[in-house]
């Protein structure tokens, strides 16, 4: 009976495979559309009971939510999400799926203001087969509420009902944050806590009680942490912080403490966690069990911290529970030499959705059941892409002696010798590259280029490394990139005369700076949404009237090394002022709906280069945001990038 049941389940998954997977091929035979379009398969998640799998398949621009019953029923289309920008899906219970979507627009309804990215939380009722916005205004509210969310939802199962707590917005004299309680079982919605302009999050326990909250005043730099004592939220910890302030991270594994995360608090740059027991309300000493972790892992239905993410491997998890850790280690051993990530797991930790990438599995989702310890491939993330290029870790020494780690993606079927190179610095800059699958570097490697992704100083490897970049924007953060080129040339891997630089956001700035501030290294440069004029960029980023405007200004001043908005250093490290000195072809690409780096940053740079009679191309991505969220324009960006590279830096 069990074998017949499993056969039926696998036949259902095979049905989905027919929908998703095409004939296996090597990366160099894959059309560039396979990389450029949005993932064909994404957001695969298993229900709390482990009975159902939800997944999203994208055809061109349209996203479709499929449901698969592991009881053996045929897969079915749950709903057509359409062209909405889907950010995440999660099961609330076996009858409800939450979907986070966003749109680029001005403020909702009749409010005025600049464009922004507005997020909404949709709920899909599996039984009733209908979809609706979780935050919907009706006449029962005393306040006017917006249908947008500003935080991550917390799911609680209380007395047989499924409750979602999520931060949203209500309107008083101005727009303010609030904690909403949405009952998926009864359909009731209410505000359970009205925030102030300085409110910055709440923490709710398994009974639905608000047990903690926090505030931060950007102007005075004052932070406060509150916990529930004697039925009231009481301030138990306070202090001042220029930018990074302590924040509530979750409940302890036993639920009797709140754990607070501090940045750079241990002297070595790593985050530290301190407990605040509910009984005493006094912050305790640093937690030894959280040492060496970049972040924490939460139980999705209680917000208890059940493990940590180590600095050594962003894809890995260390679980506090020994049995869970033993299970996790056995799962990883089933895929030797590959990157294994848990995308979703059942509440009993017996069934898993895994995301695997490596030279054996390609880049694909797998379903795994511990009862049989069997795994089944659900489908490739990118249609037809079942093999990926090798990614090697590299480390080199910058001019001042600092060690710079990074990753080198190599083209298939080519000896790692005298290769053409694309330097691909990440955005942020407070981010970092890993050796996990990266569609952009893989696409460039498929065209015959080696791709260097350096984690230059200022990258978020740890606090010490990141803080080494403060004041080095356009300076050592830039020369760290060209030092990587010189290292690869010396090693014989790269041809010094065939190097271009390509990047997005901060990486786009670095591409422009490579053509202006650190000239003589690159043969061409491509900037996607890169700031070119830091003074006007800063003015657009620090929005007047925003509660976080003072903190935002301090953040950017720290990286720029500026003391005030009129500091001459902003002009000195802005590529816009050096158009006359450019000696290489430049391509500028920018989304018309970018709300992070204004479109005119590329527009002004293009005009300056044209006025200086330089070789420049300017590509506008219509209806596109900062993150390349649309399939058509993402593919347009990749097509234009490769065309430009092949014209000015042929791979063969």
Task: Kindly report the CATH number assigned to the domain that includes residue 403.
Answer: 3.40.50.1820
Closest C-alpha among 555, 567, 461, 440 to residue 507? 440
**Which tokens belong to 413?**
């079927």
Residue 294 has pLDDT above 50, yes or no: yes
Specify the 3-state DSSP secondary structure of 88. Answer: strand
Residue 180 has pLDDT above 70, yes or no: yes
Which domain does 313 fall in, by range? 198-317
Measured on CA atoms in the order 261, 263, 264, 270, is the torsion positive or negative?
A: positive
589 and 490 within one domain: yes
Write the pLDDT tens digit of every residue in 229-239: 888 999 999 99
Three-state DSSP string of 454-472:
ECCCCCCCCHHHHHCCCCC
> Is residue 489 one of the residues assigned to a domain?
yes
527 and 395 within one domain: yes
> Is residue 272 one of the residues assigned to a domain?
yes
Write the pLDDT tens digit of every residue in 199-253: 999 999 999 999 999 999 999 999 999 999 888 999 999 999 999 899 999 999 9
User: Helices (H), strands (E): how many in the chain?
Assistant: 12, 35
Distance (Å, rounded) from C-alpha 288 to C-alpha 396?
A: 32
- Of 291, 317, 343, the domain-final residue: 317
Residue 490 has pLDDT above 50, yes or no: yes
405 and 302 within one domain: no
> Is residue 25 one of the residues assigned to a domain?
no
Query: pTM of the entire structure?
Result: 0.90
* pLDDT of res. 268: 56
496: enclosing H helix or E strand: strand 494-504
- Of 280, 299, 317, the domain-final residue: 317
To the nearest 10 degrees (0 to 180), the angle between helices 600-611 and 534-541 is 160
Distance (Å, rounded) from C-alpha 623 to C-alpha 617?
A: 19
Contact (CB, 8 A) for 70 and 50: yes
405 and 310 within one domain: no
604 and 467 within one domain: yes
Residue 140 has pLDDT above 80, yes or no: no
591 and 472 within one domain: yes
Average pLDDT score over the chain: 90
Instruction: For 378, list phi and psi in degrees, rounded to 5.
Output: -85, -45
- How far are the Cα atoms of 147, 308, 408, 595 from residue 427, in angstroms, in the given order? 30, 25, 17, 15
């Amino acid at each position: 009976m069990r074998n017949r049941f499993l056969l039926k389940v696998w036949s259902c998954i095979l049905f989905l495979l027919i929908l998703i997977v095409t004939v296996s091929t090597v990366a160099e035979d894959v059309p560039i559309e396979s990389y450029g379009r949005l993932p064909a398969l994404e957001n695969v998640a298993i229900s709390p009971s482990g009975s159902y799998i939800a997944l999203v398949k994208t055809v061109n621009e349209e996203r479709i939510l499929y449901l698969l019953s592991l009881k053996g029923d045929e897969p079915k289309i749950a709903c057509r999400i359409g062209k909405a920008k889907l950010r995440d899906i999660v099961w609330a219970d076996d009858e409800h799926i939450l979907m986070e979507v966003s749109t680029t627009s001005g403020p909702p309804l009749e409010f005025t203001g600049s464009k922004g990215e507005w997020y909404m939380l949709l709920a899909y009722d599996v039984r009733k087969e209908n979809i609706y916005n979780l935050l919907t205004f009706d006449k029962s509210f005393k306040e006017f509420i917006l249908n947008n969310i500003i935080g991550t939802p917390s799911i609680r199962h209380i007395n047989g009902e499924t409750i979602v707590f999520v931060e949203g917005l209500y309107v008083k004299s101005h727009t303010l944050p609030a904690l909403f309680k949405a009952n998926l079982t009864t359909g009731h919605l209410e505000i359970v806590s009205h925030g102030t302009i300085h409110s910055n999050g709440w923490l709710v326990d398994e009974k639905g009680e608000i047990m903690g909250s926090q505030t931060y005043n950007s102007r005075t730099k004052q932070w406060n942490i509150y916990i529930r004592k004697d039925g009231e939220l009481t301030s138990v910890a306070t202090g001042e912080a220029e930018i990074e302030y302590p924040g509530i991270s979750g409940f302890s594994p036993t639920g009797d403490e709140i754990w607070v995360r501090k940045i750079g608090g241990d002297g070595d740059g790593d985050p530290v966690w301190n407990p605040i027991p509910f009984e005493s309300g006094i912050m305790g000493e640093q937690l030894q069990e959280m040492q060496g972790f970049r972040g924490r892992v939460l139980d999705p239905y209680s917000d208890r911290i059940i493990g940590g993410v180590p600095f050594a491997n962003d894809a890995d998890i260390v679980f506090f529970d020994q049995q869970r850790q033993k299970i996790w280690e056995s799962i990883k051993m089933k895929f030797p030499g590959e990157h294994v990530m848990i995308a979703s797991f059942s509440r009993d930790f017996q069934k898993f959705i895994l995301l695997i990438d490596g030279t054996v599995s390609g880049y694909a989702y797998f379903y795994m059941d511990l009862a049989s310890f069997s795994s089944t491939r659900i489908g490739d993330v990118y249609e037809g892409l079942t093999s990926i290029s090798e990614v090697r870790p590299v480390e080199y020494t910058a001019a001042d002696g600092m060690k710079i780690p990074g990753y080198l993606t190599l083209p298939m079927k080519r000896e790692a010798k005298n290769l053409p190179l694309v330097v691909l610095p990440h955005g942020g800059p407070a981010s970092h590259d890993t050796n996990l699958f990266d569609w952009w570097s893989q696409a460039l490697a498929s065209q015959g280029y080696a791709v260097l992704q350096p984690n230059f100083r200022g990258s978020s490897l740890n606090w010490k490394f990141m803080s080494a970049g403060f004041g080095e924007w356009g300076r050592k953060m830039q020369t760290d990139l060209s030092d990587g080129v010189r290292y690869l040339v010396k090693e014989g891997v790269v041809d010094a005369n065939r190097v271009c630089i390509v990047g997005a956001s901060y990486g786009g700035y670095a591409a422009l700076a490579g053509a202006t501030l650190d000239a003589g290294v690159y043969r061409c440069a491509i900037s996607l949404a890169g700031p070119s004029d830091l003074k006007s960029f800063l003015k657009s980023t620090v929005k007047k009237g925003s509660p976080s405007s003072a903190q935002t200004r301090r953040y950017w001043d720290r990286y720029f090394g500026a003391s005030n908005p009129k500091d001459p250093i902003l002009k000195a490290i802005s590529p816009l002022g050096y158009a006359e000195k450019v000696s290489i072809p430049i391509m500028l690409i920018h989304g018309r709906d970018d709300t992070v780096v204004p479109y005119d940053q590329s527009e002004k740079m293009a005009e300056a280069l044209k006025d200086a009679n330089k070789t420049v191309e300017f590509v506008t991505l219509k209806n596109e945001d900062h993150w390349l969220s649309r399939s058509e324009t993402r593919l347009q960006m990749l097509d234009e990038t490769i065309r430009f590279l092949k014209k000015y830096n042929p791979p063969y």
